[in-house]
Protein backbone atom coordinates (compact mmCIF):
# COMPACT_ATOMS: atom_id res chain seq x y z
CA UNK A 1 0.00 0.00 0.00
CA UNK A 2 2.89 2.32 0.83
CA UNK A 3 4.44 1.58 -2.62
CA UNK A 4 1.26 2.64 -4.44
CA UNK A 5 1.06 5.91 -2.42
CA UNK A 6 4.70 6.77 -3.30
CA UNK A 7 4.03 6.06 -6.94
CA UNK A 8 1.04 8.41 -6.95
CA UNK A 9 3.13 11.17 -5.35
CA UNK A 10 6.07 10.69 -7.81
CA UNK A 11 3.96 10.84 -10.97
CA UNK A 12 3.17 14.60 -10.76
CA UNK A 13 6.82 15.31 -9.92
CA UNK A 14 8.12 13.47 -13.02
CA UNK A 15 5.55 15.25 -15.17
CA UNK A 16 6.62 18.62 -13.82
CA UNK A 17 10.31 17.95 -14.46
CA UNK A 18 9.56 16.88 -18.06
CA UNK A 19 7.54 20.05 -18.64
CA UNK A 20 10.38 22.24 -17.34
CA UNK A 21 12.95 20.44 -19.57
CA UNK A 22 10.77 20.91 -22.64
CA UNK A 23 10.33 24.61 -21.83
CA UNK A 24 14.11 24.94 -21.55
CA UNK A 25 14.77 23.28 -24.95
CA UNK A 26 12.17 25.41 -26.69
CA UNK A 27 13.58 28.62 -25.22
CA UNK A 28 17.10 27.61 -26.21
CA UNK A 29 15.98 26.86 -29.79
CA UNK A 30 14.17 30.19 -30.02
CA UNK A 31 17.24 31.95 -28.63
CA UNK A 32 19.57 30.29 -31.18
CA UNK A 33 17.28 31.11 -34.07
CA UNK A 34 16.98 34.67 -32.88
CA UNK A 35 20.78 34.97 -32.81
CA UNK A 36 20.95 34.21 -36.54
CA UNK A 37 20.35 37.27 -38.73
CA UNK A 38 17.39 37.25 -41.07
CA UNK A 39 19.85 37.64 -43.97
CA UNK A 40 21.14 34.12 -43.28
CA UNK A 41 17.74 32.56 -43.92
CA UNK A 42 17.17 34.87 -46.88
CA UNK A 43 20.45 33.67 -48.38
CA UNK A 44 19.49 30.03 -47.91
CA UNK A 45 16.14 30.71 -49.54
CA UNK A 46 17.84 32.36 -52.53
CA UNK A 47 20.18 29.39 -52.91
CA UNK A 48 17.27 26.96 -52.85
CA UNK A 49 15.58 29.04 -55.54
CA UNK A 50 18.78 29.06 -57.64
CA UNK A 51 19.33 32.80 -57.26
CA UNK A 52 23.08 32.95 -56.48
CA UNK A 53 23.44 36.72 -56.96
CA UNK A 54 20.83 37.53 -54.30
CA UNK A 55 22.23 34.78 -52.06
CA UNK A 56 25.69 36.32 -52.21
CA UNK A 57 24.33 39.74 -51.21
CA UNK A 58 22.50 38.22 -48.26
CA UNK A 59 25.51 36.22 -47.07
CA UNK A 60 27.77 39.27 -47.38
CA UNK A 61 25.42 41.04 -44.99
CA UNK A 62 25.65 38.12 -42.54
CA UNK A 63 29.45 38.10 -42.76
CA UNK A 64 29.50 41.83 -42.07
CA UNK A 65 27.32 41.42 -38.97
CA UNK A 66 29.19 38.36 -37.69
CA UNK A 67 32.82 38.10 -38.92
CA UNK A 68 33.35 34.87 -36.94
CA UNK A 69 31.19 32.80 -39.32
CA UNK A 70 34.05 31.02 -41.11
CA UNK A 71 31.86 28.42 -42.79
CA UNK A 72 29.81 31.19 -44.31
CA UNK A 73 33.00 32.81 -45.63
CA UNK A 74 33.96 29.51 -47.26
CA UNK A 75 30.53 29.30 -48.86
CA UNK A 76 30.85 32.87 -50.13
CA UNK A 77 34.28 32.20 -51.62
CA UNK A 78 33.01 29.10 -53.41
CA UNK A 79 30.06 31.05 -54.82
CA UNK A 80 32.33 33.83 -56.06
CA UNK A 81 34.65 31.34 -57.77
CA UNK A 82 31.75 29.52 -59.38
CA UNK A 83 30.48 32.80 -60.84
CA UNK A 84 33.94 33.67 -62.19
CA UNK A 85 34.55 36.46 -59.65
CA UNK A 86 37.97 35.12 -58.74
CA UNK A 87 39.25 38.42 -57.27
CA UNK A 88 36.47 38.46 -54.67
CA UNK A 89 36.99 34.75 -53.94
CA UNK A 90 40.72 35.36 -53.44
CA UNK A 91 40.01 38.23 -51.01
CA UNK A 92 37.61 36.10 -48.96
CA UNK A 93 40.00 33.15 -48.66
CA UNK A 94 43.06 35.35 -48.08
CA UNK A 95 41.29 37.05 -45.18
CA UNK A 96 40.55 33.66 -43.68
CA UNK A 97 44.08 32.30 -44.21
CA UNK A 98 45.69 35.32 -42.51
CA UNK A 99 43.41 35.40 -39.46
CA UNK A 100 45.59 34.71 -36.39
CA UNK A 101 42.75 33.16 -34.40
CA UNK A 102 41.77 30.64 -37.10
CA UNK A 103 42.25 26.96 -36.12
CA UNK A 104 44.85 25.09 -38.17
CA UNK A 105 42.37 22.77 -39.97
CA UNK A 106 40.35 25.76 -41.18
CA UNK A 107 43.55 27.59 -42.19
CA UNK A 108 44.51 24.61 -44.36
CA UNK A 109 41.03 24.62 -45.85
CA UNK A 110 41.44 28.35 -46.68
CA UNK A 111 44.84 27.70 -48.31
CA UNK A 112 43.36 24.89 -50.42
CA UNK A 113 40.49 27.09 -51.58
CA UNK A 114 42.93 29.93 -52.24
CA UNK A 115 45.05 27.67 -54.44
CA UNK A 116 41.99 26.81 -56.53
CA UNK A 117 41.11 30.52 -56.78
CA UNK A 118 44.59 31.36 -58.11
CA UNK A 119 44.41 28.44 -60.56
CA UNK A 120 41.05 29.63 -61.88
CA UNK A 121 42.43 33.17 -62.19
CA UNK A 122 45.46 31.95 -64.17
CA UNK A 123 47.91 32.92 -61.40
CA UNK A 124 49.70 29.60 -61.59
CA UNK A 125 52.79 30.50 -59.55
CA UNK A 126 50.69 31.73 -56.64
CA UNK A 127 48.43 28.70 -56.91
CA UNK A 128 51.44 26.41 -56.66
CA UNK A 129 52.77 28.39 -53.68
CA UNK A 130 49.51 28.01 -51.77
CA UNK A 131 49.07 24.34 -52.55
CA UNK A 132 52.69 23.50 -51.77
CA UNK A 133 52.00 24.47 -48.14
CA UNK A 134 49.58 21.53 -47.90
CA UNK A 135 51.86 18.61 -48.67
CA UNK A 136 50.91 16.94 -45.39
CA UNK A 137 47.67 16.81 -43.48
CA UNK A 138 44.06 16.23 -44.45
CA UNK A 139 44.25 18.33 -47.64
CA UNK A 140 47.47 16.77 -48.98
CA UNK A 141 45.81 14.45 -51.51
CA UNK A 142 43.38 17.12 -52.74
CA UNK A 143 46.17 19.69 -53.06
CA UNK A 144 48.37 17.28 -55.02
CA UNK A 145 45.52 16.52 -57.41
CA UNK A 146 45.10 20.22 -58.10
CA UNK A 147 48.88 20.57 -58.46
CA UNK A 148 48.88 17.76 -61.01
CA UNK A 149 46.23 19.62 -63.01
CA UNK A 150 48.31 22.80 -62.72
CA UNK A 151 51.48 21.11 -63.99
CA UNK A 152 49.59 19.74 -66.99
CA UNK A 153 48.37 23.25 -67.83
CA UNK A 154 51.92 24.59 -67.49
CA UNK A 155 53.33 21.59 -69.43
CA UNK A 156 55.74 20.95 -66.56
CA UNK A 157 55.86 17.26 -67.33
CA UNK A 158 58.65 16.27 -64.94
CA UNK A 159 56.79 17.91 -62.06
CA UNK A 160 53.62 16.20 -63.26
CA UNK A 161 55.39 12.83 -63.10
CA UNK A 162 56.56 13.53 -59.54
CA UNK A 163 53.08 14.65 -58.46
CA UNK A 164 51.47 11.57 -60.03
CA UNK A 165 53.94 9.27 -58.26
CA UNK A 166 53.20 10.98 -54.92
CA UNK A 167 49.46 10.61 -55.51
CA UNK A 168 49.94 6.98 -56.51
CA UNK A 169 51.63 6.28 -53.16
CA UNK A 170 49.22 8.44 -51.14
CA UNK A 171 45.94 7.24 -52.62
CA UNK A 172 46.94 3.70 -53.66
CA UNK A 173 45.58 4.58 -57.10
CA UNK A 174 47.08 3.68 -60.48
CA UNK A 175 48.53 6.67 -62.35
CA UNK A 176 50.73 4.68 -64.76
CA UNK A 177 48.63 5.64 -67.79
CA UNK A 178 49.13 9.35 -67.05
CA UNK A 179 52.82 8.96 -66.19
CA UNK A 180 53.47 7.16 -69.50
CA UNK A 181 51.80 10.01 -71.38
CA UNK A 182 53.90 12.57 -69.47
CA UNK A 183 57.01 10.64 -70.56
CA UNK A 184 55.80 10.81 -74.17
CA UNK A 185 55.33 14.56 -73.85
CA UNK A 186 58.91 14.88 -72.61
CA UNK A 187 60.03 12.73 -75.57
CA UNK A 188 58.26 15.03 -78.01
CA UNK A 189 59.93 18.04 -76.38
CA UNK A 190 63.30 16.32 -76.83
CA UNK A 191 62.56 15.62 -80.49
CA UNK A 192 61.72 19.28 -81.06
CA UNK A 193 65.08 20.21 -79.53
CA UNK A 194 66.85 17.71 -81.87
CA UNK A 195 67.84 15.39 -79.02
CA UNK A 196 66.72 11.91 -80.18
CA UNK A 197 68.74 10.09 -77.50
CA UNK A 198 66.76 11.80 -74.73
CA UNK A 199 63.54 11.08 -76.62
CA UNK A 200 64.34 7.36 -76.79
CA UNK A 201 65.12 7.34 -73.05
CA UNK A 202 61.73 8.86 -72.19
CA UNK A 203 59.88 6.58 -74.61
CA UNK A 204 61.45 3.47 -73.13
CA UNK A 205 60.41 4.71 -69.69
CA UNK A 206 56.87 5.23 -70.99
CA UNK A 207 56.76 1.59 -72.16
CA UNK A 208 58.02 0.46 -68.75
CA UNK A 209 55.32 2.47 -66.99
CA UNK A 210 52.53 1.27 -69.26
CA UNK A 211 53.31 -1.56 -71.71
CA UNK A 212 49.90 -0.99 -73.35
CA UNK A 213 50.87 2.56 -74.32
CA UNK A 214 50.62 2.92 -78.12
CA UNK A 215 51.97 6.44 -78.40
CA UNK A 216 55.50 5.37 -77.43
CA UNK A 217 56.06 2.92 -80.35
CA UNK A 218 54.59 5.48 -82.74
CA UNK A 219 57.18 8.03 -81.59
CA UNK A 220 59.96 5.42 -81.54
CA UNK A 221 59.14 4.77 -85.20
CA UNK A 222 59.35 8.51 -85.87
CA UNK A 223 62.81 8.60 -84.26
CA UNK A 224 63.99 5.68 -86.42
CA UNK A 225 62.52 7.22 -89.58
CA UNK A 226 64.23 10.55 -88.86
CA UNK A 227 67.52 8.67 -88.51
CA UNK A 228 66.99 7.12 -91.95
CA UNK A 229 66.22 3.62 -90.68
CA UNK A 230 62.92 2.94 -92.43
CA UNK A 231 63.01 -0.79 -91.69
CA UNK A 232 63.27 -0.19 -87.93
CA UNK A 233 60.53 2.41 -88.15
CA UNK A 234 58.25 -0.10 -89.86
CA UNK A 235 59.01 -2.60 -87.09
CA UNK A 236 57.73 -0.15 -84.47
CA UNK A 237 54.66 0.93 -86.44
CA UNK A 238 53.54 -2.47 -87.67
CA UNK A 239 54.14 -3.89 -84.19
CA UNK A 240 51.22 -1.79 -82.97
CA UNK A 241 48.92 -4.44 -84.43
CA UNK A 242 49.97 -6.78 -81.61
CA UNK A 243 49.05 -4.16 -79.00
CA UNK A 244 45.88 -2.67 -80.43
CA UNK A 245 45.21 -2.91 -84.17
CA UNK A 246 42.64 -0.11 -84.00
CA UNK A 247 45.54 2.38 -83.77
CA UNK A 248 47.02 1.31 -87.12
CA UNK A 249 45.20 4.11 -89.03
CA UNK A 250 47.26 6.63 -87.05
CA UNK A 251 50.45 5.30 -88.67
CA UNK A 252 49.11 4.26 -92.08
CA UNK A 253 50.57 7.25 -93.96
CA UNK A 254 53.90 6.77 -92.19
CA UNK A 255 53.95 3.10 -93.21
CA UNK A 256 53.23 3.95 -96.87
CA UNK A 257 56.00 6.56 -96.90
CA UNK A 258 58.51 4.17 -95.31
CA UNK A 259 57.76 1.41 -97.82
CA UNK A 260 58.08 3.96 -100.63
CA UNK A 261 61.52 4.91 -99.30
CA UNK A 262 62.51 1.26 -99.50
CA UNK A 263 61.11 0.96 -103.04
CA UNK A 264 58.37 -1.41 -101.87
CA UNK A 265 55.26 0.57 -102.77
CA UNK A 266 53.44 -2.60 -103.78
CA UNK A 267 53.90 -4.08 -100.30
CA UNK A 268 52.27 -1.01 -98.76
CA UNK A 269 49.35 -1.22 -101.17
CA UNK A 270 48.84 -4.92 -100.48
CA UNK A 271 48.91 -4.19 -96.74
CA UNK A 272 46.25 -1.50 -97.13
CA UNK A 273 44.06 -3.65 -99.39
CA UNK A 274 44.12 -6.41 -96.80
CA UNK A 275 43.10 -4.07 -94.01
CA UNK A 276 40.24 -2.66 -96.11
CA UNK A 277 38.58 -6.08 -95.85
CA UNK A 278 38.45 -5.86 -92.06
CA UNK A 279 37.02 -3.61 -89.38
CA UNK A 280 39.51 -0.78 -90.04
CA UNK A 281 38.23 -0.06 -93.55
CA UNK A 282 36.51 3.23 -92.73
CA UNK A 283 39.63 4.66 -91.07
CA UNK A 284 42.06 3.50 -93.77
CA UNK A 285 39.90 4.36 -96.75
CA UNK A 286 41.48 7.73 -97.52
CA UNK A 287 45.06 6.43 -97.32
CA UNK A 288 44.23 3.38 -99.43
CA UNK A 289 42.44 5.49 -102.04
CA UNK A 290 45.27 8.01 -102.33
CA UNK A 291 47.93 5.27 -102.50
CA UNK A 292 46.04 3.35 -105.19
CA UNK A 293 45.43 6.56 -107.15
CA UNK A 294 49.08 7.60 -107.00
CA UNK A 295 50.46 4.18 -107.92
CA UNK A 296 47.95 2.79 -110.44
CA UNK A 297 45.81 5.71 -111.59
CA UNK A 298 42.11 6.64 -111.40
CA UNK A 299 40.78 3.48 -113.08
CA UNK A 300 42.35 1.25 -110.42
CA UNK A 301 41.17 3.61 -107.68
CA UNK A 302 37.62 3.43 -109.10
CA UNK A 303 37.72 -0.38 -109.00
CA UNK A 304 39.04 -0.36 -105.44
CA UNK A 305 36.25 1.96 -104.26
CA UNK A 306 33.63 -0.07 -106.14
CA UNK A 307 34.77 -3.19 -104.28
CA UNK A 308 34.72 -1.29 -101.00
CA UNK A 309 31.17 -0.07 -101.62
CA UNK A 310 30.06 -3.67 -102.10
CA UNK A 311 31.72 -4.73 -98.82
CA UNK A 312 30.93 -1.70 -96.67
CA UNK A 313 28.85 1.10 -98.21
CA UNK A 314 29.58 4.49 -96.61
CA UNK A 315 29.25 8.09 -97.72
CA UNK A 316 33.03 8.47 -97.61
CA UNK A 317 33.57 5.48 -99.92
CA UNK A 318 30.92 6.81 -102.29
CA UNK A 319 32.65 10.21 -102.33
CA UNK A 320 36.03 8.68 -103.18
CA UNK A 321 34.39 6.54 -105.89
CA UNK A 322 33.06 9.61 -107.69
CA UNK A 323 36.36 11.42 -107.18
CA UNK A 324 38.13 8.57 -108.97
CA UNK A 325 35.52 8.52 -111.73
CA UNK A 326 35.85 12.27 -112.26
CA UNK A 327 39.63 11.94 -112.43
CA UNK A 328 39.39 9.13 -115.00
CA UNK A 329 37.14 11.08 -117.37
CA UNK A 330 38.86 13.00 -120.14
CA UNK A 331 38.00 16.70 -120.53
CA UNK A 332 35.04 17.31 -122.84
CA UNK A 333 37.19 19.05 -125.43
CA UNK A 334 39.57 16.10 -125.77
CA UNK A 335 37.07 14.10 -127.81
CA UNK A 336 36.31 16.80 -130.37
CA UNK A 337 36.21 15.53 -133.98
CA UNK A 338 34.57 16.05 -137.35
CA UNK A 339 30.88 15.59 -138.15
CA UNK A 340 27.71 15.49 -136.19
CA UNK A 341 28.37 12.06 -134.66
CA UNK A 342 31.56 13.33 -133.05
CA UNK A 343 29.75 16.43 -131.85
CA UNK A 344 26.98 14.29 -130.38
CA UNK A 345 29.48 11.99 -128.66
CA UNK A 346 31.33 14.97 -127.26
CA UNK A 347 28.12 16.44 -125.92
CA UNK A 348 27.05 13.18 -124.24
CA UNK A 349 30.49 12.67 -122.74
CA UNK A 350 30.61 16.26 -121.57
CA UNK A 351 27.19 15.96 -119.92
CA UNK A 352 28.27 12.78 -118.15
CA UNK A 353 31.43 14.43 -116.90
CA UNK A 354 29.42 17.36 -115.56
CA UNK A 355 27.03 14.99 -113.78
CA UNK A 356 29.84 13.03 -112.16
CA UNK A 357 31.63 16.24 -111.17
CA UNK A 358 28.44 17.67 -109.67
CA UNK A 359 27.82 14.50 -107.65
CA UNK A 360 31.44 14.50 -106.49
CA UNK A 361 31.27 18.15 -105.40
CA UNK A 362 28.01 17.58 -103.53
CA UNK A 363 29.35 14.53 -101.71
CA UNK A 364 32.61 16.32 -100.83
CA UNK A 365 30.62 19.17 -99.35
CA UNK A 366 28.48 16.75 -97.39
CA UNK A 367 31.33 14.64 -96.00
CA UNK A 368 33.91 17.38 -95.43
CA UNK A 369 33.22 17.59 -91.69
CA UNK A 370 31.40 14.31 -91.31
CA UNK A 371 33.88 11.97 -89.65
CA UNK A 372 35.17 13.10 -86.26
CA UNK A 373 36.87 11.62 -83.24
CA UNK A 374 34.71 11.61 -80.10
CA UNK A 375 35.83 11.67 -76.46
CA UNK A 376 34.36 8.81 -74.44
CA UNK A 377 34.28 10.93 -71.27
CA UNK A 378 32.79 14.29 -72.28
CA UNK A 379 31.66 13.72 -75.89
CA UNK A 380 33.94 16.46 -77.28
CA UNK A 381 34.25 15.94 -81.06
CA UNK A 382 37.36 16.87 -83.03
CA UNK A 383 38.67 16.47 -86.57
CA UNK A 384 42.14 15.56 -85.25
CA UNK A 385 43.12 12.75 -82.90
CA UNK A 386 44.26 13.88 -79.43
CA UNK A 387 45.96 11.86 -76.72
CA UNK A 388 44.55 14.34 -74.19
CA UNK A 389 40.99 15.55 -74.74
CA UNK A 390 40.82 19.35 -75.17
CA UNK A 391 37.38 19.30 -73.55
CA UNK A 392 37.84 17.40 -70.28
CA UNK A 393 41.68 17.09 -70.24
CA UNK A 394 41.49 13.32 -69.70
CA UNK A 395 44.18 11.13 -71.23
CA UNK A 396 43.53 8.39 -73.83
CA UNK A 397 39.79 8.99 -73.98
CA UNK A 398 39.69 9.28 -77.78
CA UNK A 399 39.13 6.05 -79.64
CA UNK A 400 41.20 6.00 -82.88
CA UNK A 401 38.00 5.58 -84.87
CA UNK A 402 35.98 8.42 -86.32
CA UNK A 403 32.21 8.37 -86.33
CA UNK A 404 30.14 9.33 -89.36
CA UNK A 405 27.49 11.38 -87.61
CA UNK A 406 25.80 14.46 -88.94
CA UNK A 407 25.58 17.55 -86.80
Binding residues for Fe cation: 375, 378, 389, 392
C-alpha separations of 344 from 63, 326, 336, 341, 355 in Å: 91, 20, 10, 5, 17
Please report the DSSP string for 229-291 in residue order: -HHHHHHHHHTHHHHHGGGGGGTHHHHHHHHHHTT-HHHHHHHHHHHHTTTTHHHHHHHHHHH
Cα–Cα distance measured from residue 241 to residue 244, given in angstroms and rounded to the nearest whole number? 5
Strand ranges of the sheet holding 403-404, from the earlier edge strand across to the other edge: 381-382, 371-374, 403-404
* Rounded distance between C-alpha atoms, residue 394 and residue 171, angstroms: 19
Distances (CA, A) of 292 to 264, 272, 289: 14, 9, 5
Q: How far from 314 is each of 16, 321, 363, 370, CA to CA, in Å?
A: 87, 11, 11, 11
Residues forming the annotated binding site?
375, 378, 389, 392
Distance CA 393, CA 373 (A): 15
Dihedral sign for Cα 17, 23, 25, 27, please.
Answer: negative
- Per-residue HEC secondary structure of 47-62 comes to HHCCCHHHHHHHHHHH
**Cα-Cα-Cα-Cα dihedral sign, residues 133, 139, 141, 145:** negative
Cβ pair 404, 282 in contact under 8 A = yes
Q: What's the per-residue H, E or C state across 297-361? A: HHHHHHHHHHHHHHHCCCHHHHHHHHHHHHHHCCCHHHHCCCHHHHHHHHHHHHHHHHHHHHHHH
380: region left, alpha or beta (phi > 0 left; psi from -120 to 50 alpha): beta
Amino acid sequence: MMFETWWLLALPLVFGLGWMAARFDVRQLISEQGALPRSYFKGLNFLLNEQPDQAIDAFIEVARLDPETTELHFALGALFRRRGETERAIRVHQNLATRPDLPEPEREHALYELGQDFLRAGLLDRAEESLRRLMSGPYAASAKRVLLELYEVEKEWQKAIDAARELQALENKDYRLQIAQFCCELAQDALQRKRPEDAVKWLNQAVQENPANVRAPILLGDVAAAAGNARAALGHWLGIERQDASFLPLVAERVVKAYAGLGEQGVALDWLRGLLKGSLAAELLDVAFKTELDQNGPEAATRLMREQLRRQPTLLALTRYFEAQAASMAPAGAMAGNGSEADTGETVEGDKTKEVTAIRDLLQLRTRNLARYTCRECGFRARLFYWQCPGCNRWETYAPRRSEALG
